[in-house]
Structure 1
């Protein structure tokens, strides 16, 4: 059986796997206007680390969505143990199971690249309220690499393609977002910062192949550290 990088994340139950981790998430949200009346959708919530943080920090309504049942089961366990009233939905970002104008904010942490971008971004725009905000953290191609290298990376992660900042901008603009900003994160990484570190919710049985997948991820990250970066996109009307 051919396992994917996303299968690997689910089996290891990695929380905060996106670039910048929980530290970046906390920093981003601190600049937004969020209170008890805010409705937030965490798309591709994984094991629920970010959803839990938002619910605890801001006491607002949080909806956590993921297409992976194993991830959602682990998220539910987290929410239950913390006694958090977070709504959990299984579904695809390409066809969100929500009405139009349902949310004040959507948070998408390294999720859109794994989907059909031409479907996901318009769906996010559809379910956002007129003055709603989309915060998306996505991988960006910083400089040209060979077609063979690009295909290797895309195939490993399950991306349709690698995109430059301007290509991402065009997708957001085409979906109807008018105010679009893209920022690099300069937050220093502190390996001793336990509060913001990735966490793990391990499955009982993990095949050796999954450790090989993680090793390949680390290898690609190191080899292409100058070619692959990420941006925080903030999009609204």
Structure 2
């Protein structure tokens, strides 16, 4: 089923659309011990900004997976121009096209929220090695809102539910992750650096309606800035 918000991100080719952008990704990865022998899955990789960074920085094997074919086309062009040997896969996080216990790390940047969450988490657990780690940056509901407001947000973003931090932790543990660490104080992101790091790969002839979608997203994030937060979940089997 098409998701107009995600289609909008694909058409504009937005890289680092998750909270904190590439700067936050770099900070999270710098805290891990990653070497060239490891295999990393960028699940819901979009235009491949993060995948390209990992491949260049750590020289490890990177697999870039997304369900949106336009995003994948833009990712392929990025990897080709940079001459990066990244494996590109079309597929869903709810049914990952990989054998079990294949990856050392899975990175999921504001992706699982848009899926059947329990299914995606179970699949991540399945394809991670015994000592593997899931690093997930996900949207959380910081405080209660009215049913009407919640419905409006769920409808616009095309997400099945808006989870609290504790609900995320419960689902992660039910999916087989025995150790779940939560980071919540990583919001100190330099706005100037974010502007310099903006990453877009625009499609030609974008329908005007999608500019309205982008504007509404910006409007909603401002209105609900005290409601829509995010957490970084570090999860081990």
TM-score range, shorter chain: over 0.9
Map 1:137-216; keep pairs closer than 5 Å: 137-193=137-193, 197-216=197-216
Partners in 2 of 1:219 and 1:195 — Cα distance? 18
Superposition deviation, residue 184 in structure 1: 1.2
Q: How many residues align?
A: 236
- Is 1:61 matched up with 2:61? yes
Query: What root-mean-square deviation, in Å, do the aligned CA atoms of Structure 1 and Structure 2 show?
Result: 1.3
Consecutive unaligned residues of structure 1, counting only runs of 5 or more, are none
Residues 2-151 of structure 1: pairs in structure 2 closer than 5 A: 4-151=4-151
Q: Deviations for 1:174-228, whole angstroms, at most 9, x for unmatched residues? A: 0110110111143433333269623000001101100100011001100000011
* 8 A contact 1:48–1:78 mirrored in 2: yes
Mapped to 2, the partners of 1:37 and 1:71 lie a distance apart of 27
Could you list the runs of 5+ residues in structure 2 that have no partner in the other structure? none
Instruction: Determine the C-alpha separation between the residues in 1 that align with 2:222 and 2:100.
Output: 41
Cα distance, 1:126 vs. partner? 0.1
TM-score (normalizing by structure 2): 0.97
2-structure distance, mates of 1:58, 1:18 = 21
Structure 1 stretches of 4+ with a deviation exceeding 4 A read none
Q: Secondary structure at the match of 2:101?
A: coil
Deviations 1:8-36 (A, max 9, x none): 00000000000000000000000001000
Q: Residues of 2 paired with 1:99 and 1:41: CA distance?
A: 13
Q: In structure 1, what is the Cα distance between the partners aligned to 2:135 and 2:118?
A: 17
Q: 1:35 to 1:3 in 2, by over 3 A?
A: closer
C-alpha distance in structure 2 between counterparts of 1:71 and 1:236, whole Å? 29
Distance verdict in 2 for CA 1:67–1:100, change over 3 Å: same
- The 2-side partners of 1:141 and 1:89 are apart by 31
